[in-house]
Structure 1
């Protein structure tokens, strides 16, 4: 009996560790890594490009560069992301995921069947009126 309890407790602890690992990976890769890479990019580009240019005034400080970066880069990145989602490769990627993954293939088949059933119900309601 004690051995079963130990195995159950060990399994529970491993599940908790696995969940913590998953939460860490999602938080790190989806949020912190992006922020850190963006800050890294801004800092490196300023100190390697802007600070060493003789054309730029000595009054052009890092905070000015960050402000200029936010005003120019972030809207540009949003526009490019929107274009990619609506007319770019996003649809192709989703179509490929649908075709290659058996799980998504089954999900989309069921959604298509539900859509056809919904259309049949709508048609029968409109014909009954």
Structure 2
């Protein structure tokens, strides 16, 4: 069994990997779907059931959910697209790259290589592979 071998070889690393996988699955997928379901049920209960005009348009929770997703998903895609192309993501990425020691060392090594100072570049990069 690969799991048993991994646990025996490095238990701390194995447990930390499981913790990382758990957080990723929980926060990216499970909570994402639960929050959608929670939002739809709460909005239907608080908004649709108490406003008679909306009850005529959204006769059931399923009808409300279909309309909600038909509007929400394209809107989220458009907002996400503009965020990636023009808003926060380019700035966030540039700042993260400047703050990363690995990126700084890599950029410094590339400059040294371009200047023909390969041995200095190798020394800078060695710490990342040893």
TM over 0.5: yes
- Aligned counterpart, 1:14: 12
- Tell me which residue corresponds to 2:92: 93
Could you list the runs of 4 or more consecutive aligned residues of structure 1 that deviate by over 4 angstroms after TM superposition?
110-113
CA contact (8 A) 2:44 2:64 kept: yes
- Output the aligned Cα RMSD: 2.5
Aligned residues: 106
Show the counterpart of 1:125.
none
Q: Which runs of 5+ in 1 are unaligned?
A: 1-7, 117-129
Q: What is the Cα deviation at residue 27 of structure 1? A: 0.9
Cα distance change of structure 1 residues 44 and 57 upon mapping to structure 2, 3 Å threshold: closer
- Name the SS of the counterpart of 2:10 in structure 1: helix
2:30 to 29, 32, 45: 32
Give 1 or 2 for the bigger CA radius of gyration.
1
Instruction: Give the Cα separation in 2 of the matches to 1:111 and 1:83.
Output: 33
TM-score, L = length of structure 1: 0.70
Return 5+ residue gaps in structure 2 as ranges.
1-6, 115-130
TM-score by length of 2: 0.70
